[in-house]
Structure 1
Amino acid sequence: MMSNTLSAVLEEQIRHLCLTDFPCGHGNWRKSKDGRDAAETEETDSLLDLLSCSHSPWWHDTSWSPQAPALRKLAVLSPECLHTDFIYKYFNTLRIVDKGVSVIDNGLLKFSKLEELVLSANKISEIPAQNFPSTLKILELRANWLSALNSLTNCTPPRLQYLSLSSNNLGHHQDISNLTGKHWPQLVCLDLSDCEFQDQQALLSALSTLPCLKTLILEGNPFTLAPSYPGFTVDSLPQLSCLDTSRISPEERHRFRGLAKMSDLIVDRASARVSVGRMKGIPDPLMSVDENAPDFPVVTYSYFITYEFLGHHTPINLKVDGESKFETAHVTEDGSSDADQQSNKTCERETSKADSGVSIVNTEETCHAAAQVSRHSTSKLTWSECMDFSDAQMYIVSDLGGLKKFLNQGLYVRIEEEKVLSWPAASEDIPAAKPSRTVKEKKGGKGKESPIKSGSTKDKSKDKKKKSVPELVQDAPIRRSLGSVHIPLQSLVKGHHKVNVLCDLGVLRTESEVKAMTTLEKDLGKKIKEDKKTEDKESKQRGGSGTRQKNTASSKGKGKGKKEREVDVHTDNSLSTQLEPGTVELSVELEKWQSASEAHQLLLPTQTS
């Protein structure tokens, strides 16, 4: 595939201006100087209107340069001056955006008076600085394929004042060494947003050598997720007046004064706090319980929230008792735990069930680096109209690049229901050959002898007490996912400190309602198939107009039946829309130092230890 050079795209744009064609340039459509005009000549004002009117067939998009419309107007008024060298020198601003440019060739040097060059959203991987005119003051290379700055700093434009390198794969130590005052003596504004810089101190040390730097944009880099940003940046660059599109106030500079001197203690590490609050809209699982149901098994329901978050260390403030914040593992017959099996299944399902909420980062890296992504479960609560989990976890992340990717992908939150069946325990005195009796047998066994022979009435009374309150044995819990929701967290990468969300999971249903709907759908499907079969048989067996009328009548009747069934389904759906949806309060907050004194108090234990 041939590379798309910048000069070729520029030549094509100039050709589209049609500077020598109607209504521009010389031609029999123009009035002659001696006053002898043909009938088909046009007035100059009419020719100019054809250029400026958006509905005119001679109107062209000239947004790629503010000089382009002026040049077309000049081609109508004074076409004799439009020679090639004049056209190239006429441009001082060029904006070639998303045109597939991959090579900046030396054809750009023809534009000897160029001051502003915008090449955003192209495919440029190298920047040969020797091909830029020395008059260049503004250079924008946003969202290209840049991975190094070596070629740009070999011969930098000496008058460059604005440089945008945002949304490129830049962040190596070599890139940092190429962002010093030695290469950019007159740089006033630098945009490095949405790159991959992680070493905050090294980058700020290099940028502090830029003598004219006043405006700096760094949001979207991994190190901006650390608590020390933006305070450490503000105090390290005293000449800076604007950071991330916001002016630095004197009060802000005063609050962070002295933070740059604590560079030995500052570590590029993020602290994220994930909080789960109240949950509402969960249907009561005991509403549909039959009163005539047997006493056993005893069914209990509990609810909890699960999510996954990135962290290299164990989350802070975890419970260690039976109601652990993490899911308990049940050992299977082969000796492996179901947690291990679940983790293997998770790795297998991550690419196929991206929207299920089981896994957050849907890449193969999650399976290989499972220690970095931890699944957290809140405490289990019994059902109520409003369940307050009051769960807060702090995650410490040292891989800031991984955290940036994680936040861009978002967080999945899942509501889980745990059902536990409890049965009366078998008495140890009863022989193993005889199974435990049912509740009915225990209630109505008048003439039956007890299998236990006791020598006193006290023993019999004790046995009766034991039977009245039997010891219960629980089965393995049965878990069901009530729903999951995706929480976007890109705003945390863009500079926001906190995301507060009321997760809406829609109308949730109890287990019995789900089973009833499933059976109803199956019955409807079977009935429709049977109706189709009977219709086919009747159409084959019957013939003639009379029978056709009967068939039409029967089909109408069946159609009514179908409509009635559809009405039932629609009314059921309309009722479900009136129910309260399931909601969960959730917030994700990045720790940020608000002042140098606050940072000193937090870092003091580290200094003393």
Structure 2
Amino acid sequence: MSSTTLSAVLEKQIRHLRLADFPCGYGSWRKTKDSTDGKETKETDALLELLSCPHSPWWLDVSWSPQAPAVRKLAVLSPECLRTDFIYNYFTTLRIMDKGVSVIDDGLLRFSKLEELVLSANRISEIPAENLPSTLKILELRANWLSALNSLTNHPPPHVQYLGLGSNSLGSHEDIFNLTGRHWPQLVSLDLSDCEFQDQQALLSALSTLPCLKTLVLEGNPFTLAPSYPGFTVDSLPQLSCLDTSWISSEERHRFRGLAELSDLIVDQASATVSVGRMTGIPDPLTSMDKNAPDFPVVNYSYFITYEFLSHHTPVNLTVYSECKSDTAHMTEDGSSDADPQSNKNCERETSKPDTGVLFVNTEEGCHVTPCVSRHSTSKLTWSECMDFSDTQRYIVSDLEGLKKFLSQGLHLRIEEEKVLSWPAASEDIPVAKPSRNVKEKKGMKGKESPIKSGSTKDKSKDRKKKSAPELVQDAPIRRCLGSVHVPLQNLVKGDHKVDILCVLGDLHTESEVEATQTLDKDLGKKIKEENEDKESKRRRGRGTGQKNTASSKGKGEGEKDRELDVHTDDSVSIHLEPVTVELSVELEKWRSASEAHHVLRLQQTS
């Protein structure tokens, strides 16, 4: 891929100003010296208006530099001043954003009075300090391809007051060493947001050597997920006035006083609490069951929530994870899942992996292994209109970089349904179920029972009442995923401590409702077919009748139409389904004072 130099982009922008073309520069459009002053002034105002009017064809977008409009104005008023050196020295601010710049060459040194250089969203991987003008005060390099600061700190511009390095792959100990007061003696504001710094103590130790630092942005770094942030930063940098776009109050500084002196405190470890609350909107699976259905098997439905989250240690509930994978081998009675296609793909992908406590997570780069991602399942609840799980889990994570990536991707929450069939246990008292007789056999046997058998019916019914309920044997549970939803958690990376989300999964149909709908459609189609056959037979019989029967047959036809409409109206079932919602909250633990950190330290020492 060919490289794009910064000087080439800047020269293109300057040529785009058209300083020698109408209405700028010299030409026939300008008045000569022999013309009257009034006319010349009027002509100059007209030319300047062509440059400033947004509807003019000579208007240009000059947002890349606030000096660009002034240069064009000079090209109208005093075109003789616009020599090459004058133009380069005139610019003090350059904002070249998202132009594909990959190389900062020595052509930038021609701008000898440059004070502000903004190069955000380009492809710069190295900043040679020798190609930066020594007059620079503001240097913005956000969202580039920087992975090291060595080239920038060899001979950095001595007067830089603002340095923006956010959204770059910076975070090594060498990068930390290059952010000291020895390299940036006049630095007032520093932006390190959305980088990869993990060693909070080492970074703050280096930043404390910056004598003029007042404003600091650190949100989006892995260590900001730890409970010690922001208190540890506030107490470590007493000269700081603003942290992450928020002013540091005296009360806040007082609460965190002494926190930086706790050297034995573990500050590079995060604690997250995930809470699952109430779930509503699940249709009742028993509403459409046939009242004349046999007593066995007994069908029980239960519901639970599953999700994955990052943890510090091997998850304790690996057995639940194994059960989930083994049970998905018989998701439904017919061997297929009725859940949405995306949920089925997720389940198939998870069940194909070995049970090692490692879950495969899809990212933009492809499928890779993320260790210590454990699956958690809530307790199982029987159906109700509002099922309150009240499930709270706490996760300790020492891999802060992995936690940042996990929160950036978000988690997937799934609603699982478990169906269990129960049968009476085989015993001497309970005969084995026999195949049911057909209708003819039942009619033939009617009234042929022996007197002894018919006479003892009352006695047997009394004996059955005296006997206890038969012991039931349960089949293997049949589980299926009713639906899943992606829960975004990026706000936790951006600085929020807690995220409360009402997950909406839309309308779901239970297995029994789906079967009932299919049966209803079949019955409805059968009735309509029978009505049509009766109508056709009556029509054939009525062809030989006289004119007297015409009106009556017509009336009958109308009545048949009415009955046909009644079939659609009476037999249709309208079920109003509410969207399924699940309450979920994810909270990062944050120390609110130094005394709270002292309490944690005592617990760490005793454990």
CA shift, 1:287, in A, is 0.5
Inter-CA distance 521–144: structure 2 relative to 1 (3 Å threshold): farther
> Which whole-Å CA distance do the structure 2 matches of 1:427 and 1:40 have between them?
117
Cα drift, residue 131 of structure 1: 0.4
Residue equivalent to 1:328 = 323
Alignment match, 2:52:
52
Q: Is the 8 A contact 1:188 1:213 kept in 2?
A: yes
Mapping for residues 80-91 of structure 1, pairs under 5 Å? 80-91=80-91
Q: Which residues of 2 match residues 305-316 of structure 1 at below 5 A?
A: 305-313=305-313
Q: What aligned pairs does 1:291-310 form with structure 2 within 5 A after superposition?
A: 291-310=291-310
* Paired residues for 1:206-245 under 5 Å: 206-245=206-245
In 2: Cα distance, 1:204 partner to 1:478 partner: 54
Change (3 A) 1:512 1:53: same
Q: 2: distance between equivalents of 1:412 and 1:90?
A: 55
TM-superposed deviation, 1:601: 0.6
Deviations 1:411-441 (A, max 9, x none): 11111111101011112799xxx95557999
- Within a 5 Å distance, the mapping from 1:434-583 to structure 2 comes to 435-437=432-434, 469-515=469-515, 579-583=577-581
Shift, 1:263, TM fit: 2.3
The alignment partner of 1:512 has SS state of helix
Deviations 1:127-165 (A, max 9, x none): 001101000000000000000000000010000000000
Q: Which residue of 2 aligns with 1:600?
A: 598
| Number of the residue aligned with 2:110 | 110
Report the CA distance between 1:504 and its aligned residue.
1.1
Change (3 A) 1:408 1:523: farther
Moved more, 280-289 or 162-171: 280-289
1:536 is matched with none
Instruction: Note the C-alpha offset of 1:582.
Output: 1.1
CA distance in 2: counterparts of 1:302 and 1:584, whole angstroms = 16
What is the aligned partner in structure 2 of residue 548 from structure 1?
Answer: none
| Residue in 1 that maps onto 2:274 | 274
Q: Is the 8 A contact 1:98 1:121 kept in 2?
A: yes
Q: Does 1:164 align with 2:157?
A: no
Partner of 1:65: 65
Residue of structure 2 in register with 1:340 after alignment: none
Contact 1:281 1:580 in 2 (8 A): yes
Q: What's the CA shift string for 1:534-582, capped at 9, x where partnerless?
A: xxxxxxxxxxxxxxxxxxxxxxxxxxx9xx99xx99xx99x66x53211
Report the residue type matching 2:498 in the other structure.
K
Which residue in the other structure is 1:409 paired with?
409
Counterpart residue type for residue 483 of structure 2:
G
**d(CA) in 2 for partners of 1:478, 1:347:** 14
| 1:175 partnered with 2:175 | yes
1:553 alignment counterpart:
none
Whether the aligned pair in 2 keeps the contact of 1:189 and 1:216 (CA below 8 Å) is yes
Contact 1:305 1:413 in 2 (8 A): yes
- 1:461 to 1:72, Cα distance in 2 relative to 1, 3 A: closer
Structure-1 separation of matches of 2:62 and 2:523: 64
Please report how far the alpha carbon of residue 606 of structure 1 lies from its aligned counterpart in structure 2 after TM superposition. 1.6
Kept in 1: contact 2:270–2:398 (CA 8 A)? yes
Structure 1 letter corresponding to 2:50: L
Alpha-carbon distance change, 331 to 204 in structure 1, aligned in 2, over 3 angstroms:
closer
**Per the alignment, in what secondary structure is the counterpart of residue 406 of structure 2?**
helix
Aligned residue type for 2:278: R
Is the CA contact 2:227–2:267 (under 8 Å) kept in the aligned structure 1?
no
CA distance in 1, matches of 2:33, 2:108: 38
Measured in 2, the distance between the counterparts of 1:282 and 1:32 equals 85
Question: Could you tell me which residue of structure 2 aligns to residue 261 of structure 1?
Answer: 261
**Residue pair 1:299, 1:421 contacting (<8 A) in 2 also:** yes
Which runs of no fewer than 5 residues in structure 2 stay unpaired? Answer: 330-344, 353-357, 454-459, 526-560
Decide whether aligned partners of structure 1 residues 599 and 466 sit closer, same or farther in structure 2, where only a CA change above 3 A counts: farther
User: What displacement does 1:282 show?
Assistant: 1.1
CA distance 1:217–1:351, shift in 2 (3 Å): farther
CA shift at 1:328, angstroms? 3.4
CA RMSD, 1 decimal: 3.8
Does structure 1 residue 288 correspond to structure 2 residue 288?
Answer: yes
- 1:498 Cα deviation from its structure 2 partner: 0.2
Distance 1:365 1:42 in 2: 62
The alpha-carbon distance between structure 1 residues 446 and 235, as it changes in their structure 2 partners (threshold 3 A), is farther
Q: Equivalent residue of 2:299, what SS? A: strand
Distance 1:12 1:350 in 2: 53
Distance 1:260 1:491 in 2: 27
Partner of 2:333: none
Distance 1:445 1:182 in 2: 110
Between the aligned residues of both structures, percent identity stands at 77
Contact 1:220 1:493 in 2 (8 A): yes
- TM-score w.r.t. the length of structure 2 is 0.80
Deviates further, 266-275 or 514-523? 514-523
Q: For 1:523 and 1:113, how far apart are their aligned partners in 2?
A: 86
Report the CA distance between 1:266 and its aligned residue.
Answer: 2.3
For 2:601, the aligned partner's letter is: L
**Aligned pair in 2 of structure 1 residues 478, 175: CA closer, same or farther (>3 Å)?**
same
Q: Give the 3 Å change call, closer, same or farther, for CA 154–446 of structure 1 in structure 2.
A: farther
In structure 2, the residue corresponding to 1:204 is in which secondary structure?
helix
Corresponding residue for residue 542 of structure 1: none
CA deviation vs aligned residue, 1:69-122 (integer Å, no higher than 9, x gap): 011011100100000000000000000000000000000000000000000000
Contact 1:67 1:90 in 2 (8 A): yes
Counterpart for residue 194 of structure 1: 194
- C-alpha distance in 2, partners of 1:262/1:484? 44
> 5+ unaligned residues in a row in structure 1: which ranges?
335-344, 353-357, 451-459, 526-560
Q: In the aligned structure 2, how far is the partner of 1:596 from the partner of 1:388?
A: 36
1:147 and 2:142 equivalent?
Answer: no
Q: SS of the residue aligned with 2:603?
A: helix
Give 1:522 shift: 11
Residue 94 of structure 1 contacts residue 116 of structure 1 at CA under 8 Å; is this kept in 2? yes
Deviation at 1:477, TM superposition (A): 0.8
More divergent stretch after superposition (503-512 vs 389-398) = 503-512
Q: What residue number does 1:22 align with?
A: 22
Pick closer, same or farther for the CA change 1:524–1:7 going to 2, 3 Å.
farther
Whole-Å Cα distance in 2 between the matches of residues 268 and 118 of structure 1?
33
CA distance in 2, matches of 1:488, 1:478: 30
CA deviations on 1:465-510 (whole Å, 9 max, x unpaired) are 7965211111111112222111110000000000001111112222
Contact 1:146–1:170 (CA<8 Å) still a contact in 2? yes
Alignment match, 1:120 = 120
The code of the aligned residue for 2:399 comes to D
Separation of aligned partners in 2, 1:449 and 1:369: 73
Match of 2:543 in 1: none
| Structure 2 SS opposite 1:75 | helix
- Quote the Cα distance in structure 1 between the aligned partners of 2:74 and 2:578: 67
Structure 1 residues 446 and 164, CA gap change in structure 2 (3 angstroms): farther
- CA distance in 2 between counterparts of 1:449 and 1:375 reads 62
In 2, are the aligned partners of 1:350 and 1:362 still within 8 Å (CA)?
A: no
Residues 274-305 of structure 1: CA deviation (Å, up to 9, x unaligned): 00011111111111011000000000010111
Contact 2:117 2:136 in 1 (8 A): yes
Instruction: Please say which of residues 470-479 and 94-103 is displaced more in the overlay.
Output: 470-479
Partner of 2:247: 247
Q: Report the secondary structure of 2:390's partner residue.
A: strand
Give 1:587's match in structure 2, choosing from 570, 576, 585.
585
Separation in structure 1 between the aligned mates of residue 250 and residue 90 of structure 2, nearest angstrom: 44
Tell me how far apart the structure 2 counterparts of residues 388 and 235 of structure 1 sit (CA, whole Å): 42
Pick closer, same or farther for the CA change 1:224–1:95 going to 2, 3 Å.
Answer: same
**Alpha-carbon distance in 2 for matches of 1:41, 1:257:** 67
For residues 253 and 445 of structure 1, do their structure 2 counterparts lie closer, same or farther at Cα, with a shift above 3 Å needed? Answer: farther
Q: In structure 1, what is the equivalent of residue 548 of structure 2?
A: none
